[in-house]
Each structure stands twice: as C-alpha cells, then as structure tokens.
Structure 1
Amino acid sequence: MGKVIITGAANGIGKGITKKFLLNGHEVLMIDYDNKKLGASFNELSSISSNIKKLCGDLKSRSFRNEIIEYVKKDFAEVNILINCAGVFPSKSALEISEEEWDDVFDLNLKSVFFLSREIARIMIYSKIENASIINITSAASEVARPGVSHYCSSKAGLKMLTQVLSLEFARFNIRVNAVGPGLVETETLQKTLNNETKIKEHREKISYSPLRRTAEIEEVAAGVYFMSSTEASYITGQNLLIDGGYSAGRVFKTTNI
C-alpha cells in the first residue's frame, strides 16, 4: 500500500478519510493545526495501524508548509497520495466581511492548497511515483451559490478550477488531480451548531432541498475520496465528484410525489 498525506485530519471528514486509508493498509501522515484534537485522533487511530504519523501547524504559514516538505523529503519521500482537506467555513454577510476575514479563508482554502500540492507534486515527480494522486476537498458550494458565505463559495469554486488546471499540467507526470465535493455531512462540528430551535429548523430546511433528504455520513465521503485516489479511478482526472445527495442537481419541491 502507499503513503498518504491528509490535511485537516484531526476531526470530521479528514479524520474519517484517515481512518479509511489506515483500514486499507496505507501509511498516513496526519496534518492539522489543532494540537489537542490531532493528538487525540492520532492516539485513537493508532489502534488501527502503527503506520501513522502527525505534524501540527498552520497551513497558511509558509514556514510550516516548508516544514512539511522537508519532513516528507526525509521520512515520507515516496508519498503517492495527497488529500487537501483542511479548510474553514465561516458565515457572514458580504456587506460585513472584512478584508482580513476574506484573506483568511482564501489563504487556507485555496492558497495553501496550491503551494502544498505543487511541492508535493515535485517530490512525486522526482521519486517517479506511479499512479500518484492529489485530491482536493471542495464542496457542493463550488457549484451552487449560497447566501452568507461569499468568501467560502468563491474559495471552493476557485479550488475546483485549480483542480482542473493542475490536472492538465500534471498529467504528463502521471499525477491525477481530482476533487471531491461534499454537501451536508453528519459531523461533530455540524451537530455543535444545532444549539437552538432556529438553527435546527434551518438545518431541516437545508436537508429538504436534497433529493435524498438526509445528510451524508462521513464514511460515505471517505469512500468517494478513497475511490478517486485509487487505481480503480486510474483514467479519471480533472473531475469534481459531488457527494451531496443530489443537492447540486436541482431543487426538490416539497409537495411533489414524483
């Protein structure tokens, strides 16, 4: 099995993806900025496999990205899969977003992905890795606009386009670049936001927009990521696989029985 780097690996979708790869015999380097959560998840997942490592730091920092690259060159050189899962999802009206808040979203959701992917791709090229794969975690918001998250939607739409451009540039090195875009996912973070009746009502309304009328399980997203990075998807590149219960396909009218 191969070596896998997963950012945003301490909880939620990133942790679920980490677990999926460990269960299938891969060696995983977990990366996250939250040292406490990263340590707890690392200890928990170590029971699945001892082939697990961790690095803690802020991906928005150039020095930390350089630290990752130096670590990989020294101790993880034959990495064949990179999964860019780290991201932020703030909510604020476009009329209220500050320039600093806008930059913070783009620095993590888009800029850090580009520079980390480029440097890991260089290592893959130098190491002559076969069936190398980069997976970017986008969102259904890369396809469907939502009010209150203009910075998030824009960053994920940009990430989708970055995925496509890198897929064209890296194809000659046999590096596939794809994206996976979740919709609403049943995570601990989501549950923590449902702390009053208004938010619960809004959440139920969001679910009603999906043809499948439910949230995704973390394992369902992890399965999509695992497939897209595997040799079974060896002729797929430049794509954005949406795991959103049909949300991006169109709206379901509540009164329809079709």
Structure 2
Amino acid sequence: MFNLKGRVVVVSGASSGLGAQMAKGFAAQGADLVITARRFEKLEALAEEIRKMGVQCLPIRCDVTNVESVNNCAKEAVAHFKHIDVLVNCAGAAANNGVLNMTDSEWQFTIDTDLTSVFYVTRAFANIMKEQKYGRIINIASMYGLVGNTAMDTVAYHSSKGGVVNFTRAVAAELAKYNITCNAICPGYFETELTKETLDTDSFKSYMKMTVPLGRYGHAGELNSAAIFLAADESSYVTGVILPVDGGYTCV
C-alpha cells in the first residue's frame, strides 16, 4: 500500500478499539508510533505487539481531557522522536441519552472527551508540525456527526462529532500555509471489543440490513486504509475532507 517508513504517527485513544487497530495498521506500513491513552497497562501490551513488527513504539499515559497532560505528552513525544509527522485523534466516549433526559454531567463528559480533547491535542501537536512545515492531522469523527439516527438517543455524541467535522474544516483552512493537512474520517458501525456483542444481536443485524446498504458492520482493520491514505504523501493535496467509512449509511 503506502510507505510510511520513517514517519512518526501519534494515535490518541490507542489502548483498544479503532485506535489500537489503526496503530497496528500504521506499523504494518513502516511507521513508528506514539500511542496514548489513560490505561497504560493496555498501551504497554500494544507497544510490545507493535515493536515485534519491526518499528519503534512509545506508549504515553495521557488524559486527553486534561490540557496539562496533553501538553506533557506532546513534549515527551517530540523529545523522543525529534519530529511528529501524523496525528490521529481517536480518543472518544459517549453518554447515551437524549435531550429530554441528559444530565449536565453526561453532556459535559461527552463534549470534553469527544470535542474539547480534539482541540487540546491538535493545538499541542500542530505547533510542533508548524515548526517542521509538515504535518498530517486525522480526526476520527463519526457518521453521527453528519446525520441523526433512530437506533439510540445520543444527542451529546452527535453534537460533539458534528463539532469535530467543522473543527476539521477550520483547521484545514488555517494550517494549510504550514504544509499541514487536516481531514476527518466518519466511521459507521465497527466491530470492536466494546461493540461486537451489541452488533451481533439479531435486532441490530436487522437494523443494519435496513439502514446500511452493504448490510453489515465494519470489521477490524477496515478503517485502516482510509487513515493510512490520509497519512501518506500521496494525499498531499487532500485537506478539509470529511470521509465517511460507513458501508453507505450516510448516502441513503
């Protein structure tokens, strides 16, 4: 596919799920990794797995909702590798509730984790990229940042991911003069440790057949190619793009 040898890729929210899958996908293309999350034990295990692929991997404990933690993470990463080429904002969480019943704390938790954190992390690493005159920023939004849904009430998640979509466009326009691109991927239903049990129920399979033209959820690794393309030099003229990877959910 695309050669990322010599590139340093930072992936937030990398201890599990899509973040871990993408980190391994980047490593398979030759990239060195900085992986961050709050659960350091899981990061260490993933780092060992990635190093066996013949690349370097630095795990850093980081709370993306804490600006001091984020800034320290960026300093440690650039001190270790001397340059940062790609940032993937993948940390996320959601409080499932609708506008009528959502509490203030549920709202704030989701906005802090899914939107404010993207600002904190992007600011920290974009300043490094500015000095280099090179960078690739990839934000993991959601198809729910583009459309509503009838499967569940997730008003804060929709709001935060919609914010990530337009944050991406604004950052792309602002940072283009520094040779930094910024794009977003909007995943649909994907198989992870947390989602597989729900996705495999008969009721959800029926829902997907009605709403997803491809009729199924995304399997582990199927998001990687989109992220790898946006990280590669071959995508140098691609910025401000919002790329759904959702089996067609948002086209119907």
TM-score, normalised relative to structure 2:
0.92
The one-letter amino acid paired with 1:166 is V
Matched, 1:65 2:66: no
Aligned-partner Cα distance in 2 for 1:46–1:13: 19
Match of 1:46 among 51, 64, 78: 51
Q: How far off its partner does 1:155 sit? A: 0.4
Q: Which amino acid aligns with 1:160?
A: V
Conservation of the 8 A alpha-carbon contact between 1:4 and 1:79: yes
C-alpha distance in structure 2 between counterparts of 1:111 and 1:150, whole Å: 16
Distance 1:206 1:45, change over 3 A: farther
Structure 1 residues not aligned, in runs of 5+: 251-258
- Residue-pair matches, total: 244
Question: 1:41: Cα distance to partner?
Answer: 1.8
Change (3 A) 1:161 1:9: same
The separation in 1 between residues aligned to 2:18 and 2:234, in whole angstroms, is 22
Local SS of the residue matching 1:219: coil
2:238 equivalent to 1:236: yes
Map 1:1-258; keep pairs closer than 5 Å.
Answer: 1-129=6-134, 132-146=135-149, 147-193=152-198, 200-208=201-209, 209-250=211-252
- Per-residue CA deviation, residues 18-57 of structure 1 (Å, 9 max, x unaligned), is 1111111111000011223222222222221341110113
Contact 1:32 1:57 in 2 (8 A): yes
Which residue of 1 is the match for residue 3 of structure 2?
A: none
Unaligned runs of 5+ in 2: 1-5
Aligned residue for 2:85, secondary structure, equals strand
Q: Which range moved further: 31-40 or 169-178?
A: 31-40
* Code of the aligned partner of 2:147: V
Q: Could you say if the C-alpha distance between residues 202 and 91 of structure 1 is closer, same or farther in structure 2, counting changes exceeding 3 Å?
A: farther
Distance in 2, matches of 1:40 and 1:89, equals 25
Which amino acid in the other structure matches residue 133 of structure 1? R
Q: Which has the larger radius of gyration?
A: 1
Q: Which TM-score applies when normalising by structure 1?
A: 0.90
Cα contact 2:172–2:240 (8 A) shared by 1:
yes
Q: Give the Cα separation in 2 of the matches to 1:88 and 1:75.
A: 29
Q: Distance in 2 between matches of 1:235 and 1:59?
A: 29
What RMSD over aligned residues (CA atoms) do the two structures have, in Å? 1.5
Moved more, 85-94 or 233-242: 85-94
Query: Take 1:96 and 1:76, find their aligned partners in 2: how far apart are those partners?
Result: 46
Residue 246 to residue 229, structure 1, CA distance change in 2 (3 Å): same
Runs of 4+ in 1 over 3 A off after TM superposition: none
How far, CA to CA, are the matches of 1:183 and 1:42 in structure 2?
27
Residue identity matched to 2:224: A
